[in-house]
Amino acid sequence: MAGIYLHIPFCKKACYYCDFYFTTSLRLKGDFITAIRKEINTRQNYLSNEQVDTIYFGGGTPSRLDFDDIERLLDTIHDSFNVSTSVEITLEANPDDLTKLKISEFKRAGINRLSIGVQSFYDEILKWMNRTHTAQEIFTSISESQQAGISNITIDLIYGIPGLSDEMWQMSIERFLGLSVSHLSAYSLTVERKTPLHKLIASGKYVAVSNDASAKHFEILMQLMQQAGWQHYEISNFAREDATISKHNSAYWNATNYLGLGPSAHSYNSYQRRWNNTPLQRYIDKIMSNEVYYEEETLNKIDKYNERVLTGLRTMWGIHESDLGELSNYFRENVETYLNQNMVAYSGGRYVLTQSGKLYADRIASDLFYV
């Protein structure tokens, strides 16, 4: 199993919290499509003919692309890679982009899964984040996608937002559960440096994010989703059943090889990581002139161990001792504290975070790193 990720960098406007690479101009869209198709062709050996089970259009806002753009990109991928007949093809979309026509075109192009950037069901929160859609457009876009025959739908929600009370957050989860979609990705708001949100907080115009509020929201999320019978298969991801676990998301956390295409996209092939240049014009120019357009690093045994600890502990499958190579003894010695605190559970050679341990996932992983 392998995955392909395409970074589509176009957005209508900047969301205040976002630190992914994007541009609000479509001026270079045609040149970008040409360049990324060339990148696809030149990197067809990167996955060593592994079967591609997931193709993911992320960004940015991929729903800004047209039918012809998506179709040409998918045709180029199918011509260059060993793509599974049951491949999961996901496209990230904003609710306000999902008109009936656009949904129909995406489905006709081959999209069989939508990741809808809901973020909040409250208009005041959406405005606070500088989102382009309204709460009503959320429900309309989901309903019309389902009516068009796209049943595999996931949405994103953000919690830990100033002004989002515990009651509002609980209501958000209940609204989600009433939508009959199959997957949820829920993230704590993080204030990244160089984002508009960071500047607004630093200037005193916005209130800082509360760690206590985020933790409480996460606890509410876990409790309600567990009561509803959903699988909490990764810290930020919930699936209604095994069949709706995201191939794309689980590939990252289970150390599956994946190819990243487009500006800022990352690739991994078990022994090396590569990341593409930005900004968009630079990426296009270097691709078209056959220059090096990326940076890369070769992973040593410590890098691989630390990454396995970081990613594996985030999932319901955890980490097996056999995954840790020569450093398995180091892990066993250092995880003892968290076993005693009931933050990590052990069974059959496998370590997984407990419910209480999930609240401290990053700290636990960091403490288990080999440095």
What is the rounded distance in angstroms from the CA atom of residue 205 to the CA atom of residue 64?
31
What is the rounded distance in angstroms from the CA atom of residue 99 to the CA atom of residue 64?
12
Residue 216, classed as helix, strand or coil, is: helix
On whether both 341 and 239 belong to a single domain, the answer is no
In a domain, 195, yes or no: yes
Please report the pLDDT score of residue 71 as a whole number.
Answer: 98
CA distances 79 to 75, 82, 317, Å, are 6, 8, 34
Backbone angles phi, psi at 118, to 5 degrees: -70, -55
In a domain, 262, yes or no: no
Please report the pLDDT score of residue 58 as a whole number.
Answer: 97
On whether both 239 and 135 belong to a single domain, the answer is yes
What is the rounded distance in angstroms from the CA atom of residue 103 to the CA atom of residue 145?
6
On whether both 156 and 53 belong to a single domain, the answer is yes
Q: In 334-352, which positions are buried (b, 16+ CB within 10 angstroms) versus exposed (e)?
A: bbeebeeeebbeeeeeebb
Please report the pLDDT score of residue 255 as a whole number.
Answer: 84
Q: In 211-241, which positions are buried (b, 16+ CB within 10 angstroms) versus exposed (e)?
A: eebbeebbebbbebbeeeebbbbbbbbbbbe
Q: How many domains does the chain have?
A: 2
Query: One digit per residue, pLDDT tens: the chain, 371 residues?
Result: 899 999 999 999 999 999 999 999 999 999 999 999 999 999 999 999 999 999 999 999 999 999 999 999 999 999 999 999 999 999 999 999 999 999 999 999 999 999 999 999 999 999 999 999 999 999 999 999 999 999 999 999 999 999 999 999 999 999 999 999 999 999 999 999 989 999 999 999 999 889 999 999 999 999 999 999 999 999 999 999 998 999 998 888 888 999 999 999 999 998 899 999 999 999 999 999 999 999 999 999 999 999 999 999 999 999 999 989 899 999 999 999 999 999 999 999 999 999 999 999 999 999 999 98
The number of C-alpha atoms within 13 Å of 127 and in the hemisphere containing its C-beta is 4
Structural domain span for residue 240: 2-253
